[in-house]
Each structure stands twice: as C-alpha cells, then as structure tokens.
Amino acid sequence: MKFGIVIFPGSNCDYDTFNVLRDVFHMETVFLWHKDHNIKDVDCIILPGGFSYGDYLRSGAIARFSPLMQEVKEFAMKGGLVLGICNGFQVLLELGLLPGAMLRNKNLKFLCQHVHIRIEEKKTPFTKRGEKGQVLRIPIAHFDGNYYDSEEGIETLIENNQIVFRYSEHNGLISDKGNVNGSKESVAGIINKAGNVMGMMPHPERASEAILGSEDGKIIFQSIIDWLA
C-alpha cells in the first residue's frame, strides 16, 4: 500500500501529511512533483494544504493546470482514492472533481483554530472507522473555507449523501455558532458521487498525535488504510 502526496509550488502541509503517514501509520509514502506526469503507482493520492501558487487569482485556481493533474484526474476516474485537505480541497473544486466553490470566511478573516466536525457518512473509504454522528475535534486554518453551491447543488449533495462532515458544536449540534466560516449546510467535507474523491477543510494531519492536542484526525487516515487493505 502506497500513498502519494502532491507538491505544488506553495504547498506547505506536504511534509506534515507525509510525516503522519510515515511516522504515525508506518505507510510507504512518496512525494509527487506537480510538473511530472508520474503518479508512481500509488494507491491513494493526497492533495495537501498550503497556498499553491500563492493562491493568487483564486485559491487552487492555478494548481489545476499543473501537468500532474491530468494523471490525478485519470486516477480518480478509474476509482483511485483521492483526498484533498484544505488547499487540496480547493484544488479539487477547481479541477471539477468535486462540486461547489469556496467563499471567504464569513468574518472575512483567516481562521486557525480547533473546530468540531460531525461525521455525516460512515459508508465512505475515508470515514469507515468512525461512526455516524461522531464528533471530531480537528483544526482548521484557512481564509477561503466558506463552502458554497447553488440550492440545487446542495440538494443533490444531500440526496446522494455526499456531505461527509459538517461543522458542529462540541456536542454535535449543528448551529450557526458551530459553523465558524459560514459554509452552506455547515459543510466541512464532501465526497464525489462515485465515493472515491473527498475534500475537507479541516486538517486531520494536525490532529493525529496526542502532543498536538487531538488524535481525532487519525480516523480518516486509518479508514483509508483499512479500505485499501
């Protein structure tokens, strides 16, 4: 089982994600360079957080043109597991692998803090180790995490059970208070219809070691490992 982490110019959670997979989960993990056309036979591709291309123009907008994205798309079409975290989620939206778009946070400020998210779907490769309704404490760190889609778009997501995580209060209550960035339907993470491409704004790699204050993020990586096993 092999994980590949994409490095765009401006990625800055590439090593954080790499370290968790290698040192916490002892997985074979490689970096995938954005200019290459080679995904090195990996079983799961992770698009990490950061500011690809400085997030100039629009978050994730330039990264979608990176040469490697061709291969990532093909890999996803064939059912390969793709996880986009934070900026990686924004890239997946720009690539069209996931629906919707990101607006600025509702308070118009960058937000870095621990938040609570509720697992809405257990039947995905990314959450199978969790329980529906389970609340995870995981940090966010973004300026553009206010998820938006049209009414029909949101309805489709709900109908197809594509909303995987919602922002909540610590007890799992979905409310304006818990919805820190103002996302529609409190969306914190969604999956594609085929169920193999997921994007999430919170950073599970920042919540996978006790020393960092939470290990709730491990559920996501452990689920992928179980699924691939």
Partner 1 sequence: MIEKKIIKEHGLTEQEYEKIVELIGREPNLTELGIFSLMWSEHCSYKSSKIHLKKLPTSGENVIQGPGENAGIMDIGDGLAIVFKIESHNHPSFIEPYQGAATGVGGILRDIFTMGARPIALMDSLRFGPLSQAHNKSIMEGVVSGIAGYGNSIGIPTVGGEIYFNKCYSPNPLVNVFCIGLARKEKIFYAKAEGAGNSVLYVGSKTGRDGIHGATMASAEFDEDLEKKRPNVQVGDPFKEKLLLEACLEVMDKDLIVGIQDMGAAGLTCSTSEMASNSGSGIAINLDLVPQREEGMTPYEIMLSESQERMLIVAKRDKVQAVQEIFEKWDLEAIHIGQVTDGDKLKVEANGQEVVNIPVDSIVNLCPVYDRPFERPAYLDKLDQLDSLPLPENLNQTLLDLLTDPTQADKEWVFRQYDHMVQTNTALLPGADASVIRIKGTKKALATTLDGNPLYSYLDPKSGGKIAVAEACRNLSCVGAYPIGVTNCLNFGNPEKPEIMWQFKEIVEGISEACLAFDIPITGGNVSFYNETDGKPIHPTPVLGIVGIIPDLDKSIGPGFIDNGEAIFLLGNNRDEIGGTAYLKSQFQMEKGRPPQIDLEEEKRVQNLCLEAIDDGLLSSAHDISEGGLALCLFECAFLSAKKIGCVVHLSDNIRSDSLLFGETQSRILVTAPSHHLSRILNLAKERGVFAKKIGETGGAKIEIGHQNKTLIDLDVQTAFQAWKQAIPESFKIR
Please report, as residue ranges, which positions from 124 to 143 form the binding site for partner 1 (by CB under 8 A).
139, 141, 143
214 interacts with partner 1 by CB under 8 A:
no
Gap between the Cα atoms of 86 and 140, Å rounded: 8
Query: Judged by CB, which is closer to partner 1: 118, or 203?
Result: 203
Gap between the Cα atoms of 159 and 153, Å rounded: 10
Gap between the Cα atoms of 83 and 124, Å rounded: 12
16 interacts with partner 1 by CB under 8 A:
yes
Gap between the Cα atoms of 103 and 183, Å rounded: 8
* Stretch touching partner 1 by CB under 8 A, among 54-62, 118-126, 128-136, 163-171: 54-62
Active-site residue, 86 included:
yes
Cβ contact 208:20 at 8 Å: yes
Which amino acid belongs to residue 161?
N
Catalytically annotated residue among 86, 116, 121, 185? 86
20 interacts with partner 1 by CB under 8 A:
yes
182 interacts with partner 1 by CB under 8 A:
no
For partner 1, the binding residue among 112, 158, 173, 194 (CB under 8 A) is 112
26 interacts with partner 1 by CB under 8 A:
no
229 interacts with partner 1 by CB under 8 A:
no
Query: Judged by CB, which is closer to partner 1: 140, or 219?
Result: 140
209 interacts with partner 1 by CB under 8 A:
yes
197 strand-pairing partners? 82
CB of 136 to partner 1, least distance (A): 16
Active-site residue, 205 included:
yes
Residues in the chain: 229
5 strand-pairing partners? 31, 46
110 interacts with partner 1 by CB under 8 A:
yes
* Site size with partner 1, rule: CB under 8 A: 32
Beta strands in the chain, from DSSP E residues, in sequence order: 2-7, 28-33, 44-47, 81-85, 101-103, 111-119, 135-142, 146-148, 163-168, 187-191, 197-200
Beta strands in 89-212, from DSSP E residues, in sequence order: 101-103, 111-119, 135-142, 146-148, 163-168, 187-191, 197-200
Give the active site residues: 86, 203, 205
What does the binding site for partner 1 look like in residue numbers (CB under 8 A)?
A: 9-10, 12-13, 15-16, 19-20, 23, 35, 49-51, 53-56, 109-113, 139, 141, 143, 203, 205-206, 209, 211-213
